[in-house]
Amino acid sequence: MIIEPRMRGFICLTAHPKGAEQNVKNQIEYVKSKGKIEGAKKVLVIGASTGFGLASRITSAFGSDAGTIGVFFEKPPSEGKTASPGWYNSAAFETEAHKAGLYAKSINGDAFSNEVKRETLDLIKVDFGQVDLVIYSLASPVRTNPNTGVTHRSVLKPIGNVYTNKTVDFHTGKVSEISIEPSKEDDIENTVAVMGGEDWQMWMDALKAENLLADGATTVAYSYIGPSLTEPVYRKGTIGRAKDHLEATAFSITDSLKDINGKAYVSVNKALVTQASSAIPVIPLYISLLYKIMKEEGVHEGTIEQIQRLYQDRLYTGKEVPTDEKGRIRIDDWEMRDDIQEKVAALWEQATTENLSELGDLQGYRKDFYNLFGFDVKGVNYDEDANEMIGIQSLQ
Ligand code: NAD
Ligand code: NA
């Protein structure tokens, strides 16, 4: 069977197992090429199958020879249907980790639930004893709070006023103006319930209560700030409130880990093409202009470059972890450089449907988007029958 991308709106309904495998191998090679990192050896990654979480799992395993337990929510292959990309990524990751003699097991289910937490705690107890690093990298539109049974849905809306700005349909390249209605009060609460820090705190409390955190254990969650251009729909919008909550939670987790010398960090990462960010209006146009400038300046990074640098230059230098005035790790430093932001802002003013393919890096955006699903990956022969891979790959 030849697998092709099938688009519906901002999502792709198919995924390519060989492309996913090649993506994972490329990330592994990158991490290896940068040398060893004196990092954690027993690592739990929550949200481990795509994006920053997958890059974290790969960096821990192939940068520090760590054993990893990955938690994620992905669809296995079924009759006539491919798996979701994260499922193929994780199958490929496990295969490569095992080949390298590294421990790697995965739990596929709802990380917000008590059941998946229970299963993970039991696995850590039996196989690891304790963990010394917990990466929290969930991105989800919905969360059912296990204590209340209430299902919350997050929204991406401005707060207070209608927000009007340019956006691009990255499939067609059409630049248009979009107006987004402001949130209602429960939109903020719901978005904070899904993407804020409550579930992170629950994970850390549960791990601590059963003595599954090693002395000096670290936990890291990921956040985003971005430029003033996108503030109304991102940092000062509903999702921004959730990120404020996530960042505040780092302090309460650190407090609760005092007796084991533990520490919780939020790392502010660069804007990148992921399934989550492609769905936010305005952001894809910003990213396509940002990529253009960052590539020109020679400072462009993808998820693996970001996370490898986070580990090597921030978390595991042997010195104190550098943070900003709000206690956050900043690995978005190159994105936020004044000269880069000034150039992006100037391009933003000019961008139209007619000139975007020159002003912006729409090609790069599309390529990254297709890559998420295992398509358009260098080194993959897409004319080859991918059928056997759908069946033979499995998660242990
Ligand atoms: P992603 O969509 O690539 O990854 C999300 C992960 O969460 C996947 O592993 C998925 O399986 C898992 N997941 C989702 N719902 C789950 C559930 N109920 N149970 C278990 N697993 C579940 O997202 P990403 O872009 O890597 O985002 C990760 C974090 O990084 C988020 O907090 C995001 O806000 C942040 N971030 C993203 C960007 C960006 O530009 N993409 C920039 C800075 C920070
Ligand atoms: Na992730």
Q: Which of 179, 180, 184 is nearest to 153 (CA)?
A: 184
Distance between CA atoms of residues 71 and 58, nearest Å: 14
ipTM over 0.85: yes
Atom of ligand 1 nearest to the CA of 50: 3
pLDDT band at 395; cut points 50, 70, 90:
low
For residue range 199-247, list pLDDT tens digits in order.
999 999 999 999 999 999 999 999 999 999 999 999 999 999 999 999 9
pLDDT at 392: 42
pLDDT digits (tens, 9 = 90+) for 14-73: 999 999 999 999 999 999 999 999 999 999 999 999 999 999 999 999 999 999 999 999
Per-residue pLDDT averaged across 318-327, rounded? 97
Cite the active site residues: 234
| DSSP codes of every residue in 219-231 | EEEEE----GGGT
274 marked among binding-site residues:
yes
- The predicted pLDDT at position 388 comes to 55
Residue 368 CA: distances (Å) to CA of 5, 20, 69, 373: 13, 12, 26, 9
What's the pLDDT score for residue 387? 64
138 is in an annotated binding site: yes
Asked whether 32 and 62 are in contact (CB, 8 A), the reply is yes
Q: How much distance in Å is there from the Cα of 138 to the middle of ligand 2?
A: 6
Q: Name the token pair of 327.
A: 């206690």
Contact assessment for residue 15 and residue 82, using Cβ atoms and an 8 Å cutoff: yes
pLDDT digits (tens, 9 = 90+) for 150-163: 999 999 999 999 99
Structure tokens at 229: 């251009």
Q: How far apart are CA 218 and CA 220, in angstroms?
A: 7
Quickly tell me which residue has 């936990």 as its tokens: 219
**52 C-alpha to ligand 2 centroid (Å):** 4
Q: Is the CB of 213 under 6 A from ligand 1?
A: no
| CB of 280 shorter than 6 A to ligand 1 | no
Q: Is 233 annotated as a binding residue?
A: no
The pTM of the whole model exceeds 0.90 = yes
Phi, psi of 72 (to 5 degrees): -160, 175
Tokens 């230098």 belong to which residue?
317
| CB of 264 closer than 8 Å to CB of 253 | yes
Query: Ligand 1 center to residue 140 CA distance, Å?
Result: 7
How crowded is residue 50: how many other Cβ atoms within 10 Å of its Cβ? 26
Alpha helices for 8-159 (secondary structure H): 17-33, 51-64, 85-99, 114-123
State the pLDDT at residue 385: 82
Starting from the CA of residue 83, give the closest ligand.
1
Ligand index nearest the alpha carbon of residue 139: 1
Residues 357-394: pLDDT tens digits?
999 999 999 999 999 999 999 889 999 887 655 544 55
Both structure tokens of 164: 């009007």
Q: Which residues of 252-282 are buried (b: 16+ CB within 10 A; e: fewer)?
A: ebbeebeeeebbbbbbbbbbbbbbbbbebbb
The closest-lying atom of ligand 1 relative to the alpha carbon of residue 223 is: 44
Task: Give the model's pLDDT for residue 279.
Answer: 83
Sign (positive or negative) of CA dihedral 179, 348, 140, 148: negative
Structure confidence by residue, pLDDT tens digits, 249-276: 999 999 999 999 999 999 999 999 988 8
pLDDT at 204: 98
Task: Give the separation between CA 298 and CA 310, rounded to whole angstroms.
Answer: 18
**Nearest residue (CA) to ligand 1, atom 1:** 51
Q: What CA–CA distance (Å, rounded) separates 46 from 48?
A: 6
Ligand-binding site membership of 316 (annotated) = no
pLDDT at 79: 87
* Phi (first) and psi of residue 354, to 5 degrees: -70, -40
For residue 375, list its beta bridge partners. none
Mutate to test the pocket of ligand 1, among 46, 73, 194, 203 (most ligand atoms within 8 A of CB): 73
**CA triple 290-296-298, angle to 5 deg:** 100
Among 56, 72, 119, 156, residue to substitute to test ligand 1 (most atoms within 8 Å of Cβ) = 72
The alpha carbon of 54 and the centre of ligand 1 are apart by a number of angstroms equal to: 9
| Average pLDDT of the chain to the nearest whole number | 95
Does 280 score more than 90 pLDDT? no
Of the two residues 378 and 294, the one the predictor is more confident about is 294
**Residues whose CB falls within 8 Å of the CB of residue 139, separated by 6 or more in sequence, listed in order:** 47, 51, 195, 274, 275, 276
Q: Is 138 in the pocket of ligand 1 (CB under 6 A)?
A: yes
139 known ligand binder: yes
Query: Which tokens go with 192?
Result: 């904070």
